[in-house]
Amino acid sequence: MKKHITSSLIVLLLAITVTSVMRESDVKSVATELQEDNENMLESVTTLEKELEVQATITEKLLSENEKLIATVSKLEEENGLLKTSIDYQDFNEAVTTVESYKSAKTFEEIYEFFLGTRGLNFSQFCPEGKCSFDISFNGRTIEWVPNTIQELKDFKVEGEKIYLTYHTNEDIKHYNYQFVLAKGEGMFKNQEEAWRIESIERIRK
């Protein structure tokens, strides 16, 4: 009887030991699998982050290229609008050259040739106490001519047979930029050659 109980206890202990070993083995196996899964997940996250960085770089490049494309299209639309009129690039360049020559004039007498021979256009010069002022009058609306005040071209447009060129002015003309309205025609006095000339000058608030 005692032998039988002892044998049973030994068998039970062996069963418990085997079960414990098997459970420990299972736990280790699960832990190993979890570690492997964790490592795989970390590797996947790292790979995903790299892919996202690449995608961000590509997106940034595409946005930059898109901005350049928009600017190019805008410029082409402006050029196309110019081409749709009866005025071509040669006309436009001649009009710009006229204003650039006006800008470079050093004396009041030099600017006469750049103006269209139209009614209502007058030039006047006043020199009280030796200090002279020079005025250009367009149908009673007067603009003072001050040398070296016109700067770079700011904007342009074409309407019908006229070209409008807007130029920045320096600090001597505080509140306004100047818009030159140009048309093709004969000049003043004996200058009868047809060319792009200034018809009027408009003040455009800065």
Query: What is the average pLDDT value for the chain, to the nearest integer?
Result: 80
Question: Quick one: what percent of the chain has pLDDT higher than 70?
Answer: 74
Cα–Cα distance, 160 to 163 (Å, whole number): 8
Count other C-beta atoms under 10 Å from residue 18's C-beta: 10
Dihedral sign from CA coordinates of 188, 163, 94, 174? positive
- Predicted confidence at residue 2, as pLDDT, reads 46
Q: Which single residue is written with the structure tokens 């250009």? A: 136
pLDDT of residue 3: 47
Residues 120-148 have a mean pLDDT of 86
Mean pLDDT for 8-32 is 57
pLDDT in tens, 39-61: 777 777 788 788 888 888 888 87
Q: What is the pLDDT of residues 159-173, one digit of tens each?
A: 989 999 999 999 888
pLDDT per residue over 74-105, tens digit each? 766 665 555 556 678 899 999 999 999 999 99
pLDDT the model gives residue 150: 93
For tokens 């790292």, the residue is 46
